[in-house]
Amino acid sequence: MNFLQNELTEQVAQTARDFARQHIRPYIMEWDESQEFPVETFKEMGKLGLMGVLVPEQYGGAGLSYFEYKTVIEEVARVCGSVGLSLAAHNSLCTGHILQFGNEEQKQTYLPKLATAEWIGAWGLTEANTGSDAGNMRCTAVRDGDGWIINGTKNWITHGKSGDVAVVVCRTGEPRTRNNATAFIVERGTPGFSAGKKENKLGMRASETAEMVFDQCRISDSQRLGEVGDGFYQAMKVLDGGRISIAALSLGIARGAYDAARQYAQERHQFDKPIASFQGISFKLADMATEIEAANLLILQACDLKNRHLPMTREAAMAKYYASEVAVRVANDAVQVFGGYGYTKDFPVEKFYRDAKLCTIGEGTSEIQKLVISREELKK
């Protein structure tokens, strides 16, 4: 495994870095305070290929590898976790699901629009009473002639209100039975498909999180992704790749918090010395830097396996679990380095602190990651 960054990856990193500094950094607190989902910013990222990083060029995407994808999310999240989260959800979940399991007609129809951000994508698996227990979902799709009728509600959906198209996993069999779910593509504007409550969140406030409501929503069978009953299997495969993206998001947040803390520790003086010269602070920085590098290596390992189409469920879960917990610890220590100033919105670390926590919850909690890891370990 060679994890040395090549010229292409560095060029992509620089593109994402420059965009984040120019078009995201000036507005992060404005978007955070108002909970505005900056759709136009995402459309600008689409023009640069950042909204279809993994999509092959034949479908209008950038056709890059997971190394570049990880780098894009990391660089954006280093400036704003909210934008990084929405970038990850659009690429990995909705777009990724169609890319992995769509037929050729579905790919030709949807991927060019998603890859350029002409359309924003959403992905619906979670429900109010079925978070980790996704196999017990209540949102149903029932056969109706040559189509399906969907009824139910999906919760905690990124872009649940603003998304132009959604991949929705619905129950098509008996609860808790094998192969009881099927995935469908549903376009915004389809009768019976509407947005519900938008969540008022602690962090990631510029990344829209809302309900998707289905009330006698009729779609054609041509909108079905794969075979009937394959929905849960598909969702788990999509989440394997999605965990790499949340790990990269976590890494970006950790790096952003660390950058701010390191700079502040060198500029802030107490007792006529920069506080970085005191062991209590310098050792914090040492711990932060070490954990960030360890998380980075776990993510690169998962990316390498994914690029080579090798099994990576265990490695992706490890990367997501460790990196998300590191993001929380690093952001917490960054606030501590800033002291009282770190608790104010005049400095960036309080936002990294608020944003980081979601990484330990979204796309499978830390507890679920440990369950996945332990199961894979016990298979050996």
21 token code pair: 């500094």
Task: Look at residue 178 in the predicted model and tell me its pLDDT.
Answer: 73
166-184 pLDDT, tens digit per residue, is 999 999 988 777 789 999 9
Q: At residue 18, what is the residue type?
A: D
Q: Residue 180: CA atoms inside 13 Å, Cβ hemisphere, count?
A: 14
> Rounded to 5, what percent of the chain is helix, strand, coil?
55, 15, 25
Calculate mean pLDDT across residues 322-334.
98
Q: How confident is the model at residue 3 (pLDDT cuts 50, 70, 90)?
A: confident
In percent, the amount of the chain with pLDDT more than 70 equals 100
Mind giving me the DSSP string for 99-144?
A: HHH--HHHHHHHHHHHHTTSS-EEEE--BTTBSS-GGG---EEEEE
pLDDT tens digits for range 195-252 = 999 999 999 999 999 999 999 999 999 999 999 999 999 999 999 999 999 999 999 9
The closest of 81, 88, 14, 82 to 252, measured between CA atoms, is: 81
Phi–psi pair at 346, nearest 5 degrees: -75, -15
Find the Cα–Cα–Cα–Cα dihedral 254, 257, 258, 264, rounded to 10°. 180
Q: Is the pLDDT of residue 37 over 90?
A: yes
> Contact 243/359 with Cβ under 8 angstroms?
no
Using CA atoms, how far apart are residues 28 and 31, in angstroms rounded to an integer?
Answer: 5
> Which active-site residues does the annotation give?
363
pLDDT tier at 1, thresholds 50, 70, 90: low
Regarding beta strands 193-198 and 140-144, do their DSSP bridges make them parallel or antiparallel, or are they unpaired? unpaired
Q: How far apart are CA 158 and CA 212, in angstroms?
A: 10
The torsion angle over the Cα atoms of residues 257, 54, 17 and 206, rounded to 10 degrees, is: -60
What pLDDT is recorded for position 38?
98
Measured CA to CA, the distance from residue 229 to residue 360 in angstroms comes to 29
Whole-angstrom Cα distance, residue 79 to residue 28? 8
Write the DSSP string, 30-68.
HHHHHT---HHHHHHHHHTTTTSTTS-GGGTS----HHH
Cα angle 322, 320, 73; round to 5? 115
DSSP secondary structure of 177-222: -TT-EEEEEEETT-TTEEEEEEP--SS-TTS-EEEEEEEEEEEEGG
